[in-house]
Amino acid sequence: MSRSRSKQMLKKLSIGTVLVLAVLSLLAFAAFSDQEILRGGVLRVITNNISSNSSNPFLAAGQNLPGTHSMVYERLFYVNPVSGDETSLLGVSYKWSEDNLKLTVKTRQGVRWSDGEAFGAKDVAFTFNYIKEHPALDLSAIWGGGLEKVEAVDDQTVVFTFSAPNTPLFTYLVSQAIAPEHIWAKIDDPVTYTNEKPVGTGPFLLDSYSLQQFASYVRNPNYWMEGRPYIDRVNLKFVQDNNAQLMMMLLNEADFTYLFVPDVKKTFVAHDPAVHASYWPVYNDNLLYLNTAKKTLDQVAFRKAVAMAIDKKAMSEKIYYGDAGVADPTGILPSQLNKWLSADLKAMSYSYDPDGARKVLKDAGFSWDTNGNLLGLDGERLPVFKILVGAGWTDFIGMAQIISKNLEELGIKTSIDQESWGGYIGGLQNGTYDMAICWGTGDGPTPYYFYYKMLSPQFSATKIGETALSDYSRFTDPAVTAALASYRATSDFAVQLDAIHTIAQVVLENVPFIPLTDRPNFSCYNTSTFVGFASDENPYNDGCGPNQPGAEMMYLNVHLK
Amino acid sequence: MRYLLYRILLLLLTAWVALTVNFALPYLMPGDPASVMVAKFQGRLEPQAIKALSIAFGVGVNESIFQQYLHYWGRILRGDFGTSLAYYPTPVSRVLGQAIPWTLGLCGTATILAFIFGSGLGIVSAWRRGSRLGDGLVPLALFLKSMPQFWFGLLTLYVFGFILGWFPLSGGYAITSAPGAARVLSILYHSFLPGMTMLITALGGWVMTMRNNMISILAEDYITFAHAKGLSTRQIIYHYAARNAILPSFTGFAMALGFVVSGAILIERVFSYPGVGYMLYQAVISLDYPLMQASFLFITLAVLLANFFADLTYVFLDPRVRSERAGS
**Residue-level pLDDT at A363:** 93
* Residue B263: per-residue pLDDT: 66
Task: Please check the confidence at residue B88 and state whether its pLDDT lies above 90.
Answer: no
What values do phi and psi take at B109, rounded to 5? Answer: -60, -45
pLDDT at B288: 76
- Stretch B254-275: mean pLDDT: 82
Which residues in B lie closer than 8 A to residue A424 (C-beta atoms)?
A: 39
Measured between beta carbons, the chain A residues lying within 8 angstroms of B165 are 251
B89-133 confidence digits (pLDDT tens): 678 888 888 888 888 888 888 999 999 999 989 988 888 888 888
Q: Which residue has the higher pLDDT, B170 or A175?
A: A175
CB A239 within 8 A of CB A218: no
Asked if the model's pLDDT at residue B30 lies above 80, the reply is no
CA A107 to chain B, closest CA, distance in angstroms equals 26
The conformation of residue A95, written as its DSSP 8-state character, comes to E
Q: Span B245-260, mean pLDDT?
A: 83
Question: What is the pLDDT of chain A when averaged over all its residues?
Answer: 89
> Which residues in chain B (135-164) have CB-CB distances under 8 A to chain A?
154, 157-158, 161-162
Contact between B43 and A63 using a beta-carbon 8 Å cutoff = no
Main-chain phi, psi angles of A216, to 5 degrees: -125, 130
pLDDT at B52 over 80: no
Give the nearest chain B residue to A55 (CA atoms). Answer: B89
Region A165-191 average pLDDT = 92
Predicted local distance difference test score (pLDDT) of residue A439:
93
Q: What is the pLDDT of residues A496-533, one digit of tens each?
A: 999 999 999 999 999 999 999 999 999 999 999 999 99
Residue-level pLDDT at A13? 60
ipTM at complex level: 0.73
**pLDDT category of residue B49 using cuts at 50, 70 and 90:** low
Sheet holding A102-107: strands in order across?
A: A91-96, A102-107, A157-162, A147-154
pLDDT at A50 over 60: yes
Mean pLDDT, residues B308-322: 77
Q: Do B171 and A237 touch (CB under 8 A)?
A: yes
Residue A43's nearest CA partner among B18, B179, B199, B175 is: B175
DSSP letter (8 states) at residue A434? S
* Sequential DSSP letters for A114-127: TTSPBP-HHHHHHH
For B283-292, what is each residue's pLDDT tens digit? 777 677 778 8
Mean pLDDT of A479-502: 93
As a whole number of angstroms, the distance between CA B41 and CA B57 comes to 17
pLDDT grade for A25, boundaries at 50, 70 and 90: very low
For residue A194, what pLDDT is reported? 82
Give the mean pLDDT of A539-547. 92
Give residue A268's pLDDT.
93
Cα(B60)–Cα(B53) distance, rounded to whole angstroms?
11
pLDDT tens, residue by residue, A422-445? 678 888 988 999 999 999 988 889
Across chain B, mean pLDDT equals: 81
Structure letter (DSSP) for residue A185: T
The pLDDT tens digits of the residues spanning A233-266 come to 999 998 877 888 999 999 999 999 999 888 899 9
- Please give the pLDDT value at position A218: 96
User: Could you report the per-residue pLDDT of B150-162, keeping only the tens digit for each?
Assistant: 899 999 999 999 9
User: Mean pLDDT over residues A25-35, rounded?
Assistant: 44
Please report residues of A whose CB lies closer than 8 A to that of B26.
Answer: none
In this prediction, residue B278 carries a pLDDT of 76
Residue B32 in contact with partner chain A when CB distance is under 8 A: yes
- 3-class secondary structure per residue, chain B: CHHHHHHHHHHHHHHHHHHHHHHHHHHHCCCCHHHHHHHHCCCCCCCCHHHHHHHHHCCCCCCCHHHHHHHHHHHHHHCCCCECCCCCCCEHHHHHHHHHHHHHHHHHHHHHHHHHHHHHHHHHHHHCECEHHHHHHHHHHHHHHHCCHHHHHHHHHHHHHHHCCCCCCCCCCCCCCCCCHHHHHHHHHHHHHHHHHHHHHHHHHHHHHHHHHHHHHHCCHHHHHHHHHCCCHHHHHHHHHHHHHHHHHHHHHHHHHHHHCCCCHHHHHHCCCCCHHHHHHHHHHCCCHHHHHHHHHHHHHHHHHHHHHHHHHHHHHCHHHHHHHHHC
Residue A392: the pLDDT is: 79
pTM of the model: 0.79
CB within 8 Å of A543: residues ≥ 6 apart = A82, A279, A280, A281, A520, A521, A522, A523, A534, A550
| Site from B29, B59, B88, B267 to mutate, A interface, most A CB atoms within 10 angstroms | B88
Across A174-187, average pLDDT: 95
pLDDT of residue A477: 94
Mean pLDDT of A36-45: 92
H or E stretch at A553: helix A551-557
Q: In the structure, what pLDDT confidence band is assigned to residue A23 with cuts at 50, 70 and 90?
A: very low
The share of chain A scoring above pLDDT 90, in percent, equals 68
pLDDT tens, position by position, A269-279: 999 999 999 99
Q: Which of B255, B256, B304, B303 is nearest to B7 (CA)?
A: B304
pLDDT band at A125 (very low <50, low <70, confident <90, very high): very high
- Check whether the bond before B89 is cis (ω within 30° of 0): yes
CB contact under 8 A, B32 and A469: no
- A541 or B69: which carries more pLDDT confidence? A541
Q: Tell me the average pLDDT across A98-122.
A: 94
| Residues of chain B found within 8 Å of residue A251, distances taken between Cβ atoms | 162, 165, 169
- pLDDT of res. B327: 47
Q: What is the pLDDT of residue A22?
A: 47
- Identify the closest residue of chain B to A252 by CA–CA distance: B162
Are the C-beta atoms of residues B290 and B92 closer than 8 Å to each other?
Answer: yes
Of B175, B282, B285, which is closest to A214 when you measure between CB atoms? B175
- Percent of chain B at pLDDT above 90? 12
pLDDT of residue B255: 82
Using pLDDT thresholds of 50, 70 and 90, give the confidence band for residue A468.
Answer: confident
What pLDDT does A529 receive? 94
Contact B287 A421 (CB under 8 A): yes
pLDDT tens digits, A282-336: 999 999 999 999 999 999 999 999 999 999 999 999 999 988 999 999 999 998 9
Q: Do A244 and B29 touch (CB under 8 A)?
A: no
